[in-house]
Structure formats: structure tokens, C-alpha cells
Amino acid sequence: MKKIAFLFPGQGSQSVGMGLEFYNEYDFVREIFDMAEEITRINISKLCFKGPMEELTQTVNLQPAVTAVNLAYLSVMEKNGAKADISAGHSLGEYSALYSAGILSKEDIFRIVFKRGELMHREALKYKGAMSAVLGLTIDALSEIITNVQQEGIVAVANHNTEKQIVITGAPEFVKKVSNCVKEQGGKVIPLKVSGAWHSELIKGAEGEFMDFLSSFSFKAPNSSICFNVSGGIATDPVEIKSIMEKQLCSPVKWYNLNQKLIEEKTEIFVETGPGKVLSGLVKKNLPKDYPCKIYNVNSMATLETVLKVIT
């Protein structure tokens, strides 16, 4: 049997209309949205299906919204007999992976991501932040620049997505300073439209309260493998997993390292389960050219049918 990985996207993969096709087709998908709305008191279905995009993209709304779509697509897969041997998610998407691996219930996932969104939104209002994608430099070269600028102010790596695609985060003036140095070394910089400096010290004020909130939830041992952002590796002990998730808020997303681990685990089928195609695109860039695998997206009825023919 070929090893299958389910990959769950996070913020940045959203689009107005996401999830509507499955919502109209399946009663149990509507139940997932109803659950999310009951827990958050947000009209998530309206935001997902009709927008407006500006309101959908507010992190307090977006985190439960993307999670609802991820879990809706996953539930349809599972109802059709598809199961992951290993799960992973990018930042927010990691919470969908926790459900996929049987570590937390849907209800607990929605409670946690809603609280996470509230706290991140609060900190973003307190401290203006910026994020930019850096292309063309290795992590070592960029880290050297960041280390020098960090002596003046807050800036850090947010996401290491591919070998030479890295997102930086921090106070706007210091993100700009790093960006200027990157350009001097021949790299390219793309400012991102975000409402806060995610995965940086600027949202550190949320970390303690989030840890306290997480402590009230019971984490189970995973029933399948899960690979984590903080370490880029696999963990199986519930206590260790909770500790990892406590650190995840302000730690960099080691997606490149995580992808290397999936290769090491001889994963042969990658299924991005959620809106967009961001993660499948990153996986393609991170895999060796001769690596034997298939990469799919599940974000519509048509793509679902294609994937189910392969993995069930």
C-alpha cells in the first residue's frame, strides 16, 4: 500500500465560495458549519460562501472559517473510505491535522482555533506588524541578515516554505531593513497583505493566555502519524504534542523540513485537503525531480472524485 499524506492549508488559502459545493451536497458538512457557528457565534457559512473577502480575511473570522472548510473536505474523504497514513498542516492548518490524526475532537478544534484567532487579532491591534516573502536566498543566508537586524528591533523567520522561499515577519521598519539587505544580495521580496506579524515576538502577548487555554483540553495519542511545524518531525506522545502546539503560535513554520520528513517517511501520495493549491505547489518545489509520487487537491466535487479513485 502506498503511504498517503493529507495536507491542510491555513491562512492565505481562503477564497469567497470555498466549501459551498460540498455544503450543498452533504448533510454532515452542513452539520460541521453549524457546529462552528454555534461555538464561535460567527456566520461562517455566509462569510465562506458570500464574503466579503475583507471580512472573511480578518483572522478572528478566518481561522474558524478555513478550519470548517478543511474539516468538511476531510469528512467527505473519510465518509468515502479515504484515510491518511500521515497528516500535516501549515500553521492554522495544523489544527485540522490534529483532528485527522484523532488527537482532538471537531468541537475542541473549533474552540481552540477561535480562541487563537481572537488572541492573534488582539495582539495585531496592539502592535503593527508586517510580513514579506523572500525568494532566492537560502535559510542560512537570510538568517545571517536577520540576526544583524534583530539587534535593532523585532524581525524573524515566519515560514520556511521551500529551500529558497521564506517568509519574514516583524515590525514594519525592520522587515523593510531585512528586505533591503535581501535585494542587495540579489533576492526578491514580495510584501504580503496580512493584518499582523504572525509567528513573531509581536504576538508573544497571546502566548501565555493561549497556553493556559490549551491546558484545559485533553490531547489523545494519535491514531496515525502527524508531522509538526515547530520541529519538522513526528511526535506521538500527547504531552509532547500539547507542548509543541503551545510553542507553535510564535515559532517559525518549518514546512521545508516537514516536507523532507514526509520524503524520509516514503510518502507516495500527497493530498491537499482544503481550499486553494498553496501546499501542493510547495510540495512540488520541495520534492526531488525523480521522487516517485502523486500530488492532488481536494477542493471541489471533481477533484474529490479523482482522488477517491486513486486512494480508496
91 noted as active-site residue:
yes
Question: Which are the contacts of 244, defined by CB distance < 8 A and separation ≥ 6?
Answer: 228, 230, 231, 235
Active-site residue identified among 87, 179, 199, 251: 199
Burial 133-158 (b: 16+ CB within 10 A, else e): bbebbebebbbebbeebbeeebbbbb
Active site residue 200: no
Other residues' Cβ atoms within 10 Å of the Cβ of residue 52: 9
**Which entry of 45, 75, 91, 195 is annotated as an active-site residue?**
91
- Angle among Cα 305, 36, 230 to the nearest 5 degrees reads 80
Annotate 247-287 with three-state secondary structure: HHCCCCECHHHHHHHHHHCCEEEEEEECCCCHHHHHHHHHC
Q: Point out the residues that are catalytic.
A: 91, 199
